[in-house]
């Protein structure tokens, strides 16, 4: 510890010691919480086959969690598992379990939840990460597409959550819902996606209050460099197939995953992972809605 303090002092200089010491204390506290709070915890991650879900698998695996990796694409889950097994962590890790799961098959979810519970007899942390995005004009979007997005992003999430709730209550578990900044503010040409994330946000807010035995963390990320827009559905149900420029410039999945790990450890109720402007937009939507809608209207015209 003395050597560590000496390094900090040498790097920061005497003027920055008042800042360095609190940061050091926080780092020590955080490191110990990682080891004590997450070691051996059973974590079910949906959409763990790529993007943010894959990055989450890496950070929770390194933290010593027992992972259940869930997604439709088993071949991609095998790849993620193989990559995790190659990691040389500082402490003991556990072999991840692959778990095929299609959230659009609502009638099968109760049994799938029982199957997941049978693996370790309980689940400590449920990370609702899986989802589908959408790009389109409301007038040109079929009801079938609207229902498909809502089914995966909302009904599938709450069906799995409800099925696992009794177990989560018994072990004072933790539910993490990966929403979006677009779950806080509506964005043009994202109607189905934004609506599904609004619904998920509201459901989790109610769950947090109604069932205090379970911790709930809602994550609202901005743009993340994943294939979300490529795999998004259009108004006709076809694949969008394009990487949005905003997504290409977004945060890395690894960065967001680390933020989520910290939010779980610190038991945060909400976390917005975005640049300054989206956070200000959320604030303006609350305190000056007229200004917010005026700016969004101008932005939407430019996008047409």
Per-residue tokens: 147: 């229902």
Q: How far apart are CA 168 and CA 162, in angstroms?
A: 10
Q: How far apart are CA 176 and CA 260, in angstroms?
A: 9
Angle between the N-to-C axes of helices 253-265 and 17-38, in degrees from 0 to 180, rounded to the nearest 10: 80
Per-residue tokens: 210: 């109604």
Exactly one of 134, 154, 193, 251 is catalytic; name it. 193
- Tell me if residue 294 is catalytic: no
Torsion of CA 283, 286, 287, 293, to 10 degrees: 90
Q: Are 38 and 265 in contact (CB under 8 A)?
A: yes
Q: What are the φ/ψ torsions at residue 279 (nearest 5 degrees)?
A: -65, -40
Residue 44 burial by Cβ neighbours in a 10 Å radius (0-12, 13-18, 19+):
buried
3-class secondary structure, 79: helix
Per-residue tokens: 176: 């993490």
**Contacts of 37 by beta carbon, 8 Å cutoff, 6+ apart:** 265
Q: Which residues are known catalytic residues?
A: 193
């Amino acid at each position: 510890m003395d050597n560590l303090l000496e390094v900090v002092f040498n790097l920061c200089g005497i003027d920055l010691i008042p800042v360095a010491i609190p940061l050091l204390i926080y780092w020590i506290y955080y490191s110990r919480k990682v080891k004590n709070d997450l070691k051996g915890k059973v974590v079910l991650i949906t959409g763990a086959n790529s993007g943010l879900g894959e990055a989450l698998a890496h950070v929770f695996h390194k933290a010593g969690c027992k992972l259940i990796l869930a997604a439709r694409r088993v071949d991609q889950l095998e790849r993620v598992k193989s990559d995790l097994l190659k990691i040389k962590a500082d402490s003991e890790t556990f072999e991840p379990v692959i778990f095929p799961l299609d959230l659009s098959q609502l009638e099968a979810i109760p049994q799938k939840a029982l199957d997941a519970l049978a693996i370790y007899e309980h689940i400590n942390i449920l990370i609702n990460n899986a989802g589908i995005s959408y790009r389109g004009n409301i007038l040109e979007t079929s009801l079938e597409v609207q229902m498909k997005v809502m089914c995966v992003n909302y009904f599938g999430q709450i069906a799995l959550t409800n099925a696992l709730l009794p177990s989560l209550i018994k072990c004072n578990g933790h539910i993490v819902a990966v929403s979006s900044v677009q779950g806080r503010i509506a964005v043009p040409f994202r109607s189905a996606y934004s609506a599904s994330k609004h619904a998920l946000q509201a459901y989790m807010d109610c769950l947090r209050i109604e069932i205090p035995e379970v911790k709930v963390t809602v994550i609202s990320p901005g743009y993340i460099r994943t294939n979300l827009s490529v795999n998004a559905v259009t108004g006709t149900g076809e694949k969008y197939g394009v990487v949005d420029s905003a997504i290409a410039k977004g945060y890395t999945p690894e960065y967001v995953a680390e933020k989520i790990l910290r939010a779980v450890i610190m038991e945060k109720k909400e976390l917005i992972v975005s640049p300054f402007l989206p956070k200000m937009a959320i604030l303006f939507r609350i305190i000056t809605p007229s200004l917010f809608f005026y700016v969004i209207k101008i932005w939407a015209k430019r996008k047409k």
